[in-house]
Structure 1
Amino acid sequence: MSRSRTSRPWIKRPASVIGLTALSLGLITALIATLSPWPATLLIRSLFESEANKTVEEMQRHATDVPLTETLDEVYSDSEENTSLDVFSPAGSDGPLTTVVWIHGGAWISGDKENVTPYARNLAAEGFTVVAVNYTIAPEVTYPTALNQLNEAMAYLVENADRLRVDPNKIVFAGDSAGAQLSAQLATAITSPSYASTIGLTPSLSPEQLDGVILNCGIYDVSGIPNAPGLGGWGFRIALWAYVGDKDWSDQPGGEEMSIIDDVTADFPRTWISGGNADPLTASQSVAFADQLDTLGVETTRVFYADDHPAQLPHEYQFHLDFEDARSAFDSTVTFLNSIDD
């Protein structure tokens, strides 16, 4: 189903958000000329994985020492590879807990649940059940496979709620970067029957079960990517070619359906949303989406920073727990989650 869209500016400044500065102009030209997104995708993925490993090491320096109960590598679907999840909850506590389902980022072409393990464990230590979910990344599969898998994961969590200490009526989606996009898209499908019909998804959760959304450094409108400048724009075009499965991805249903900024309704769940002041996506993506939620009357907790804030906070700043602002954002996230328990 084709929908009319107004193209919005993609980034605030022509900076790279995905760390591609190591590529030479000649290599970029050669890769663009290929007939497949695979070579460039694998190169981007390797760069992402290197940065992710460094970030995990940083988070480990701030790891909780609270005893946790852990269920690792639980397979929720046999549809494709990498459909497993990890579950963390405080040891010794009883009954189901408010459950945070964290969807990792990686531009839809990289990433793993282990990239968020230290953060998930820290959240669980605050009194929640936290689930880190894997999904099959592109170009191994294309849209909407990952979205459908995540919907399957929600059904699995509800079916196994007692064993996994999941409260099926207090579920909170959380995500970073592309994971925030997937979280917001799935939440939109759950709370907007017309949008669910458009994308052909039967949600596994009811609106009453989805009690909140946590969005870090996300992407909610891809309409400006075809004209986005610099290496950042090039990298996102490659990622979306891989994810949607067509070089002319913006003309495909997936390229339209990913932009949910105009599809959210007043029934979208209460939201915590943030982005760094040095993240070129913040103004056009996170702030713009927060403004849309405010317009709709959705309860929204905004954590943003002025351009002249003393610290320059990059894309995915929330995982850089060496930053005081990242630790403060974590505390704000916990406060948001505790409000769901009230």
Structure 2
Amino acid sequence: MNTHSADAPAADDDRAPRRRRPWRRTRIALGILPAIVGVVAIVGSITPRLSAMVIRAVFTKGGEDTAAEMRGRLTDTKLTERLDVAYADDSADTIMDVFSPASADGPLPTIVWIHGGAWISGSKEDVAPYLRILAAEGYTTIGLDYTRGPEGVYPLAVTQLNTALAYIDEHAAELGVDPSQIVLAGDSAGGQLASQLATLITNPDYADIMGITPSIAPAQLAGAMLNCGVYDLSALAELGGLIGWGFKTSMWTYSGSKDWANDATGATMSTIDWVSADFPPTYISGGNGDDLTWLQSIPMSKRLGELGVEVTTLFWPAPHEPQLPHEYQFHLDLPDARTALQQTIDFLNAHTTR
């Protein structure tokens, strides 16, 4: 098992002017939640929909701000872009964006990225700038949309994403995809979904329990990249305070069940209990200021290591400053986020060939 931790900034320690701190604006946006919790608490105890819509609005604003921040870090590399490609015909949500270097003259190793948003918010547009940055390094990158809760109930998103992989595999040549080198990636809830797809593909017992036939074979997976994700729903259910309320509301909305932690939803979403030695080489990271790092990412990395999976980690000591928030890797004005980006590229270079 490869383990890497860090407490030093990236070599390029050029810091953006203080006025450019969209990640702080995200914190401020999240900070308005206590003021509205009292308003929605009574209704939310009966149905989670109103609370979920409030959470969605806050996350949507944060996602837009973060995407705008990342756009300032784009390179001049010319890309071929295919936007809003339909990978299925049964929903307006089943679309994807595809990015690749304009100079590519053949198929490339491909990163398939699932966006986060607590399973009830977010979109492929939130991660598109990051995927453009990675595509400029010589990869085809694909951002997937899926039906979020409450419009879609678990496991609809999983089946849709599995269909997306089937489409990517079938249309590999026209999309510039090397179907023998697919890296599944995601952030936050998308990290959970990416881990779920990778588990579905590599553990036949899990595929049987889910009742889903994987769209691609284990040999097609070159790796997995899991950022700030959730892998143990029982640990998630123990979270208290505002963060706990937010996740519990989101899970109730996504699953359609208030008892999600104790039913099949929690059991099958907890990929920490289902991963096997055949899980692909994995990069996993989380910020030291993110509770999910300590409750989810570090335990998942340990579990994979115990199984003999090759694991590359990027975690930060508890006292590290600044405290790195949830989804820190997208805030590229932070030197530590640029370290994470370089570690991501190094991982891809180590596990794919062009």
* TM-score normalised by the chain length of structure 1: 0.92
> Does residue 273 of structure 1 match 2:278?
no
Match of residue 216 from structure 2? 205
SS in 1 for 2:96: strand
User: In the alignment, does 2:39 pair up with 1:27?
Assistant: yes
Q: 1:114 aligns with which of 113, 125, 129?
A: 125
Residue identity opposite 1:193 in structure 2: P
Structure 2 distance, partners of 1:310, 1:252, is: 39
Which residue pairs with 1:250 in the alignment?
Answer: 261
Alpha-carbon shift at residue 164 of structure 1 (Å): 0.4
Superposed CA deviations along residues 63-114 of structure 1, whole A, max 9, x for unmatched, are 1210001111000012223110000000122111000001000000000000
Q: Is the 8 A contact 2:235 2:295 kept in 1?
A: no
1:156 aligns with 2:170: no
Conserved? CA contact 1:20–1:44, under 8 Å: no
Are 1:67 and 2:63 counterparts? Answer: no
Provide the rounded CA distance (Å) in 1 between the counterparts of 2:235 and 2:179: 37
**Match status 1:140 vs 2:151:** yes
SS of residue paired to 1:281 = helix
Pairing of 1:242-321 with structure 2 (within 5 A):
242-321=253-332
Q: 1:10 maps to which residue?
A: none
Pair 1:171–1:233, CA change in 2 (3 A): same
CA distance in 2, matches of 1:117, 1:193: 32
Give, as a single letter, the amino acid of the residue that structure 1 aligns with 2:39.
L
RMSD over aligned CA atoms reads 1.5
**CA displacement 1:19-77 (0-9 Å, x = unmatched):** 364333522432333x3221111010000011111111110111121000111100001
Corresponding residue for residue 8 of structure 2 = none
Name the structure 2 match of 1:179: 190
Structure 2 contact 67–127 (Cα < 8 Å) conserved: yes
Residue in structure 2 matched with residue 37 of structure 1 by the alignment = 48
Instruction: Decide whether the 8 Å contact of 2:222 with 2:352 is kept in 1.
Output: no
Counterpart-to-counterpart distance in 2, 1:323 and 1:31 = 39
Whether 1:124 aligns to 2:121 is no
Q: Which amino acid aligns with 1:27?
A: V
Moved more, 149-158 or 57-66: 57-66
Work out whether residues 97 and 142 of structure 2, in 8 Å CA contact, stay in contact via their aligned partners in 1. Answer: yes
CA distance in 2, matches of 1:26, 1:51: 22
| Residues in 2 aligned to 1:156 and 1:122: alpha-carbon distance in whole angstroms | 24
Q: Which moved more, 1:122-131 or 1:255-264?
A: 255-264
Match of 1:11 in 2: none
Partner of 2:342: 331
Distance 1:277 1:86 in 2: 31
**Conserved? CA contact 2:149–2:253, under 8 Å:** yes
Q: What SS does the aligned partner of 1:208 have?
A: helix
3-state secondary structure, aligned to 1:203: coil
Q: Which moved more, 1:246-255 or 1:72-81?
A: 246-255
Give, in angstroms, the shift of residue 312 of structure 1.
Answer: 1.3
**What letter corresponds to residue 171 of structure 1 in structure 2?**
I
> In the alignment, is the contact (CA less than 8 A) between 2:56 and 2:120 conserved in 1?
yes
Matched AA of 1:263: W
What is the rounded CA distance, in whole Å, between the counterparts of 1:226 and 1:120 in structure 2?
Answer: 32
Percent identical pairs in the alignment equals 51
Distance of 1:160 and 1:298 partners within structure 2: 30
Contact 1:104/1:176, CA 8 A, preserved across alignment: yes
Matches within 5 A, 1:189-204: 189-204=200-215
Maintained 8 Å contact 2:44/2:50: no
Give the total of aligned pairs: 326
TM-score, normalised via structure 2 length? 0.89
Q: Does 1:92 align with 2:103?
A: yes
1:230-266 CA deviation, whole Å, 9 max, x = no partner?
Answer: 0111111110111111122223311211001011001
Task: Report if aligned partners of 1:108, 1:178 keep a CA contact under 8 Å in 2.
Answer: yes
Shift of 1:328: 1.1
Which is worse superposed, 130-139 or 240-249? Answer: 240-249
User: In structure 1, how many angstroms separate the alpha carbons of the residues matched to 2:291 and 2:54?
Assistant: 22
Distance of 1:19 and 1:205 partners within structure 2: 38
Indicate if the aligned counterparts of 2:116 and 2:191 stay in contact, CA closer than 8 A.
yes
For 1:36 and 1:171, locate their aligned partners in 2 and report how far apart those are by CA, in whole Å: 39
- Point out 4+ residue stretches in structure 1 off by more than 6 angstroms: none
> Cα distance 1:31–1:291, how it changes in 2: closer, same or farther (>3 A)?
same
Contact kept? 2:230, 2:297, Cα under 8 Å: yes
Q: Is 21-30 or 208-217 further displaced after alignment?
A: 21-30
